[in-house]
Amino acid sequence: MNTLLTALVAGLGDGAVYALIAVSFVVIFRATGVLNFAQPGLLILGTWATSVLAVDRGMPFWLAVALAVLAVALLSMGVERVAIRPMIGRPVFSTALVTVGLFTILLVLAFRLFAARARTINDPWQLDQWCLLDGEVLCAVPLYQHHAGKIAVTAVVLTALGLWLSRSRVGLAMRATSLDQEAAMAQGINVGRMFSLSWALGGGLAALGGVLLAANGSVVQANDALFALVALPALILGGIDSFRGAVVGGLVIGLISAIARTYQPIHAPWLGPNFENVAPYVVMILVLLIRPYGLFGTREVRRV
Amino acid sequence: MTQSTEGLTGQSKLLRAGSAGGRVPRDIRRGRPRLYTSYDADSSLLDTPAKRWWTLGVVLLAFAAPFWLTRDLTHLLSVAAVMGIAGIGLNLLTGYAGQISLGHPFFMALGAYTGAVVAGTPGSIVIGWELDLSLALLLAAIVPGVVGLVVAPLATRVRGLYLAVLTLGLLMLGEQLFKQWAAVTGGSGVGRAGAEPVLFGSDLTRTYALGPVLLPPHTSLYLLCLVLLIVLAVAARNLARSRAGRAFAAVRDQDVAAEIMGVNLLRTKTLAFALSSAYAGVAGCLYAILIGRVAPEQWNILLAINLLAIVVIGGVATISGSLMGAAFVVLLPRLLEWVAPWLPFVSTGSDGLITVFQLQSILFGVLIVLFLILEPRGLFGLWHRVRTYFKAWPFSY
């Protein structure tokens, strides 16, 4: 029972990060109709920038995070302007391939910047833990502070984002753009600016996700960018165009991953070590087969 | 040879019923290479003399190349030929049938390990049956093809971006499977040797003499890859202009419309999937032989991106484009190594601004993006422009 509780707590913590990353995909998908495969690259650059500012420059952690998120948001905006804007009106297929190309560029850039070194980001939580349930000798159900931090940050950021999208004028304009670009344009909305804005938002959220992903009391390497791909199962599970779905999907994937990590080595060792890294993909394939548009996604209407 | 005149009217009926049996006399065709008098001629593979001569020249050059190139360049060309096979396979699926796949390395790995099991030598953990390479190549096509056949119905349920994500998941699951299945793959981080190149009883690791011509191992391997490449390329090109190929294009351009016109979506997509997996399997088997040792980690998303680069840089939905793309992608690193001494910002160590390997990866990314934005038809499109320019000269079109 205590093992299960521990797994659930850790799963919610990790799931919060997946949710944040999945939302960053959704923001971009809704605005431009592109599944941005370059997101892991943006994410790892955010982690790197935070590490440089917080560790090498000795800035306070939160200031470093803010600056890093801002920098990646600007970079993401530039990327959209240079590489994605010319692809408007071309098949989605081509635009997705462009983002795959961008992924390579950003990933190599990250490898170069990390220079094969493992870095830390100097987060305030490290490996400190609170005890939820006392055991006889050790703590029975520990709650790592970084898990609590992840949940808190995600909750605050996503609530703010949700409120901003639903209440503000710009949020309304963004939603209008995602609904119908031409109609939005006819209403006087600057659609190009909305594209820039959503890419900046997506990039910033990815960078924040990268920081939280690295905040696990351990080190981070350029290769860890590929862990961000775990947000894809979360995205598919929740529905590719739904904010609510991304959040639910992220949390569920986090829980599944944590449960697999806890129980699979005991009950199904033949699945091999590190199975928790691929368990989300098993879930994803099942979801794609049963309900391709996800739990909360819009069912695709196909017209000729 | 008398041909049927049913269904023909007017001039075409007269032509075909005439003494020449539908063939236009040579003196009428002279100087008019694009005068086609039948559907067969119109849809033939090499429809102009220029194409015929070019193709002949390139094929002869490709066969002669290993005899005056150094050993490592021959090896590089073999890798290019193998990547060409994989590229053609991916192009059938992604270019012709429009189904974007990031999971191709999985099928390459299947082919590689099938070949290694069938024709490899057994080791302390790995199994190997030491059979002939011809059988290994055949099975390396069949096993991935059958797996593709099994996966395809799943893949036909999802479209576009969802399929890309699904195949990515397949790649991740495949990697886990290969890491676990040590009896076949040698296990995580260790890997195993590829198939032993013993083709029809003759060991290709020995040097043979054909009259005055010496065939060292790397040359015979290259020739094997080249022959397979040519056979598979012609087969793919033929498929693309057949009924199945037209069905692929219809599904790619608008699948609902294709379905309404009577194209069986499930069958078409399944065929595309199975065929492209079989191509990938053959390529994987040869790749393992060329590289010598393959570990389960090797078949990752970066290889998938390299394959996509071949398709996109070469030219979507063209076979010759895939060949150009493969040559480009495989030879670019070597080219960069040659020019690196003249580029001040490139270093061979880790202290400079960027290493050759990183520059090459970045260039792949940049080229994918640039080609998609500026010339979606890839290298083939560039070549097409040059060709059209000279054909239309002195006019602009």
Look at residues B261, B281, B287, B262 and name the one whose alpha carbon lies nearest to residue B194.
B287
- For residue A115, the distance in angstroms to the closest alpha carbon of chain B comes to 8
**Minimal CA separation from B144 to chain A, in Å:** 19
Residue B20: strand pairing partners:
none
Mutate which of B150, B166, B260 to disrupt the A interface (most A C-beta within 10 Å)?
B166
CA distances from A247 to A252, A254, B32 (A): 9, 11, 66
How far out from the chain centre does Cα A197 lie? 17
CA distance B24 to B271: 38
**A113 burial level (CB within 10 Å; 0-12, 13-18, 19+):** middle
| Segment holding A11, helix H or strand E | helix A2-32
Bridge partners (DSSP) listed for residue A141 = A133
List of chain A residues whose C-beta atoms are within 8 Å of the C-beta of residue B159: 300
Assigned domain for A123 exists:
yes
In chain B, residues with a C-beta closer than 8 Å to the C-beta of A97 are: 100, 308, 312, 368, 372
Q: Lowest-pLDDT range, A218-227, B246-255, B292-301? A: A218-227
- List A residues 63-102 in contact with B (Cβ-Cβ < 8 A): 83, 86-87, 90, 92-94, 96-98, 100-102
Q: Considering only residues B302 and B80, tell me which one the structure prediction assigns the higher pLDDT.
A: B80
All residues of chain B having their beta carbon less than 8 Å from the beta carbon of residue A101 are 305, 309, 312, 364-369, 372
By the CB < 8 Å criterion, does A272 face chain B?
A: yes
Rounded to an integer, the average pLDDT of B56-72 is 88
- The answer to whether the bond into B394 is cis (omega within 30° of 0) is yes
- Average pLDDT of B300-323? 88
User: DSSP class of residue A90?
Assistant: S
Q: Count CB neighbours of B48 within 10 A.
A: 12
**Residues A27, A205 contacting (CB under 8 angstroms):** yes
Please check whether residue A282 touches B, CB under 8 A.
yes
- Considering only CB atoms, which chain A residues are within 8 Å of B368? 97-98, 100-101, 104
Percent of chain A with pLDDT over 70: 99
Percent of chain B with pLDDT over 70: 89
Instruction: Answer for the pair B301, B102: CB distance below 8 angstroms, yes or no.
Output: yes
Q: How far is B266 from chain A (nearest CA, A)?
A: 15
What total of structural domains would you count in chain A? 1
Q: Do A104 and B170 touch (CB under 8 A)?
A: no
Q: Which tops the pLDDT comparison, B142 or B10?
A: B142
Lowest mean pLDDT among A28-32, A212-216, B35-39: B35-39
Whether residue B84 has pLDDT greater than 50: yes
What integer pLDDT is reported at residue B131 of this predicted model? 81
What pLDDT, on the 0 to 100 scale, is given for residue A76? 93
C-alpha angle B212-B217-B221 in degrees, rounded to nearest 5: 105
To which residue do tokens 């006392």 refer? Answer: A134
Maximum C-alpha span of chain A: 68
* Contact (CB, 8 A) for A14 and A150: yes
CA distance A199 to A191: 12
Q: For the residues A216-238, what does the mean pLDDT come to?
A: 83
CA B93/CA B273 separation, integer angstroms:
6
CB burial string B189-217: b at 16+ within 10 A, e below = eebbbbbbbbbeeeebeeeeeeeeeebbe
Distance CA B301, CA B196 (A): 27
Domain assignment present for A300 = no
The three-state DSSP-derived secondary structure of chain B is CCCCCCCCCHHHHHHHHCCCCCCCCHHHHCCCCCCCCCHHHHCCCCCCHHHHHHHHHHHHHHHHHHHHCCHHHHHHHHHHHHHHHHHHHHHHHHHHCCCCCCCHHHHHHHHHHHHHHHHCCCCCCCCCCCCCHHHHHHHHHHHHHHHHHHHHHHHHHCCHHHHHHHHHHHHHHHHHHHHHCHHHHCCCCCCEECCCCEECCEECCCCEEECCEEECHHHHHHHHHHHHHHHHHHHHHHHHCCHHHHHHHHHHHCHHHHHHCCCCHHHHHHHHHHHHHHHHHHHHHHHHHHHCEECHHHCCHHHHHHHHHHHHHHCCCCHHHHHHHHHHHHHHHHHHHHHHHHCCCEECCCCCCEEHHHHHHHHHHHHHHHHHHHCCCHHHHHHHHHHHHHHHCCCCC
- More confidently predicted of B46 and A62: A62
Residue B348 binned pLDDT confidence (cut-offs 50, 70, 90): low
What's the mean pLDDT in A144-151?
Answer: 85
Confidence of residue B1 (pLDDT cuts 50, 70, 90): very low
Q: What is the distance of C-alpha B133 from the center of its chain?
A: 20
| Confidence (pLDDT) at B387 | 83
Element (H, E) at A160: helix A145-167
Chain B contact set for A304 (CB, 8 A): 254, 256-257, 260
Across the interface, whether the CB atoms of A304 and B364 are under 8 A apart is answered no
Q: How confident is the model at residue B333 (pLDDT cuts 50, 70, 90)?
A: confident
pLDDT digits (tens, 9 = 90+) for A230-266: 888 998 888 888 888 899 999 999 999 888 888 887 8
Question: Are the Cβ atoms of B173 and A282 closer than 8 angstroms?
Answer: yes
What's the whole-number mean pLDDT along residues B118-143?
83
Which residues lie across from A142 on neighbouring strands? Answer: A131
CB B285 within 8 A of CB B136: yes
The H or E element spanning position A202 is helix A191-214
Residue of A nearest to B352 (CA): A112
Work out the average pLDDT over A132-150. 78
Q: What DSSP state is assigned to residue A168? A: S
Task: State the Cα–Cα distance between residues A69 and A48, nearest whole angstrom.
Answer: 11
Question: What CATH number has the domain bearing residue A250?
Answer: 1.10.3470
Residue B78 banded pLDDT, cuts 50, 70, 90: very high
Q: B187: nearest CA in chain A?
A: A272
Query: What residue spans define the domains of chain B?
Result: 47-299
- CB contacts, 8 Å: A277 with chain B: 172, 176
Averaged confidence pLDDT in chain B: 83
Cβ atoms of A174 and A28 within 8 Å: the answer is no
Whether this model's pTM surpasses 0.95: no
Please answer whether residues A86 and A78 qualify as being in contact, where contact means their C-beta atoms are separated by less than 8 angstroms.
Answer: no
The whole-angstrom separation of Cα B13 and Cα A96 is 51
- ipTM rounded to 2 decimals: 0.84
- Kindly report the number of other CB atoms within 10 A of residue B11's CB atom: 8
Query: Distance between CA atoms of B355 and A281, rounded to whole angstroms?
Result: 34
SS3 at position A127 = coil
**CA atoms within a 13 Å half-sphere pointing along the CA-CB vector of B278:** 19
> How far is B138 from chain A, CA to nearest CA, in Å?
30
Does residue A261 sit within a domain?
yes
Strand B213-215 and strand B208-210: the pairing is antiparallel
Residue at A67 is within a domain: yes
Mean pLDDT of chain A: 86
Average pLDDT value for residue range B123-132: 78
For residue A147, the Cα-to-chain-centroid distance in whole angstroms is: 15
Quote the tokens at residue A261.
């990590």
Residue A298, domain member (yes or no): no
CA distance B96 to B249: 5
